[in-house]
Amino acid sequence: MNEASADSGNSSVPELGHSLRQTPLFDAHRGLGAKLVGFGGWEMPLAYPGGTLAEHRACRTEAVAFDVSHLGTVRVSGTDGFDRLQAALSNDLRRVGPGRAQYTHLLSEDDGSVVDDIIVWWVSDDVFDVMPNASNTARVVDAIGGEDTTETRAIIAVQGPMARSRLGTILPGAAAVPRFGVAGFEWEGVPCLVAGTGYTGEDGVECAVPADTAESLWAAILGTGVQPAGLGARDTLRLEAALPLHGHELGPGITPLQAGLGWVIGWDKPAFRGRDALLAEKNAGPRRLLVGLATEGRQPPREGSPVTKGSKIVGTVTSGNFSPMLEHGIALALVDTTAGVSPETTLAIEQRGRAMTATVVKTPFVRAGQWAIGN
């Protein structure tokens, strides 16, 4: 037995050694017997002893907690904060207001492709917590300014249909934050922040807690019957929900229009980074689009596999896996618009010399809760 090709969409580059950063919850993960993996420069739990599939099902049926402290936080404050964000990021903050969170993109000036996808927590009038992907924090600071506060806090995501009821037994205020709302709460007398956001397709919240206090909050959340879950389940959950992962469905060369995320663009804004390039693409029509594919068997489609229609290659799988809820393979793929595919079109995924029949389907693949990114 030997590893032929290991790529999950989780850890495409092996990261070993002692240069990895550790979150304030690292000791807690080790104590729980987590299998650890390098991801985005951080040493993170891949799965706890129960395994990825059990964690996935627990999130769809009950509630799980993830350590997502590896996401960056950039605090932007001051009277010019609003204008700086409006100029740098694609979405329009005028759609929301203080006490709300917004999903948005940082685009490339050159081609409108996605430098990073970001959640902005609008904390109070002149205070914004901008949350990029782990490895993109420096790029976001370059574009917007602000202070990298990642080291000062942990972020705990509590997700699942019972996330709010279980969290509510210890923190009723935090558990009541509206979907895409942002609010303050206190844990052991220390001020914290909570947002009604997540990355699983389920209802839930994300709590930002000062680093020193994080371990006690994590333990208290697990004490309510919420199970810990790792990056493995985070990836299969977000794929079932068809939520994009930077470096896969978004990234260099891939625009929000190609990824089907046109609603992230605040076209009413006179200017933002990448607007001109994106407008040109909008007028010409994107050359490829992200589609959902469902296969018949259990074999997981894998990133990078060609997608064919008849004898012609028409696209590439950007993420694929076994769907624990549907019990067959699912994938997201960028497919040429000239191929003329629509829901129910039959395509094939070519993998290690074999072709798997793949049907174009509407996404999300699983809509257990009604929650997806959006606002």
State the DSSP code for 68. Answer: -
Among 4, 16, 271, 284, binds other proteins (CB under 8 A): 4
Q: If we measure between CA atoms, which residue out of 198, 176, 172, 199 comes closest to residue 187?
A: 172
Pick the closer one to other proteins by CB: 219 or 326.
Answer: 326
CA atoms in the 13 A half-sphere facing the CB of 238 = 20
CA–centroid distance for 319 within its chain: 13
Sheet holding 147-148, edge to edge: 100-107, 114-124, 127-131, 74-77, 147-148
Pick the closer one to other proteins by CB: 16 or 284.
Answer: 16
**Is residue 5 within the footprint of other proteins (CB under 8 A)?**
yes
**Is residue 3 within the footprint of other proteins (CB under 8 A)?**
yes
Among 69, 227, 236, 319, binds other proteins (CB under 8 A): 236
Can you tell me which residue has the tokens 């990073």? 116
Pick the stretch among 2-10, 59-67, 108-116, 364-372 that binds other proteins (CB under 8 A).
Answer: 2-10
**Enclosing H/E stretch for 370:** none
Pick the closer one to other proteins by CB: 137 or 236.
Answer: 236
Pick the closer one to other proteins by CB: 3 or 268.
Answer: 3
Pick the closer one to other proteins by CB: 47 or 106.
Answer: 47
Q: How many residues bind other proteins (CB under 8 A)?
A: 26
**Coil, strand, or helix at residue 249?**
coil
Pick the closer one to other proteins by CB: 52 or 150.
Answer: 52
Pick the closer one to other proteins by CB: 235 or 336.
Answer: 235
Burial class (CB in 10 A: 0-12, 13-18, 19+), 231: buried
Angstrom distance (rounded) from CA 89 to CA 116: 10
Among 6, 13, 16, 271, binds other proteins (CB under 8 A): 6
Residue 199 beta carbon to other proteins: minimum distance, rounded to whole angstroms: 16
**Is residue 30 within the footprint of other proteins (CB under 8 A)?**
no
Angstrom distance (rounded) from CA 292 to CA 317: 10
Among 25, 28, 34, 47, binds other proteins (CB under 8 A): 47
Residue 265 beta carbon to other proteins: minimum distance, rounded to whole angstroms: 33
CA atoms in the 13 A half-sphere facing the CB of 214 = 26
Residue 206 beta carbon to other proteins: minimum distance, rounded to whole angstroms: 23
Pick the closer one to other proteins by CB: 79 or 352.
Answer: 352
Interstrand relation of 74-77 and 127-131 (parallel, antiparallel or unpaired)? antiparallel
**Is residue 52 within the footprint of other proteins (CB under 8 A)?**
yes
State which of positions 196-235 bind other proteins (CB under 8 A). 232, 235
**Is residue 57 within the footprint of other proteins (CB under 8 A)?**
no
φ, ψ dihedrals at 317, nearest 5°: -70, 130
- Tally Cβ neighbours within 10 Å of residue 252: 11
Among 20, 32, 53, 211, binds other proteins (CB under 8 A): 53
Cβ–Cβ under 8 Å, residues 136 and 144: no
State which of positions 285-324 bind other proteins (CB under 8 A). 297-300, 302, 321-322
Cβ–Cβ under 8 Å, residues 183 and 191: no
Angstrom distance (rounded) from CA 129 to CA 298: 41
Positions in the binding site for other proteins (CB under 8 A): 1-8, 10-11, 35, 46-47, 51-53, 232, 235-236, 297-300, 302, 321-322
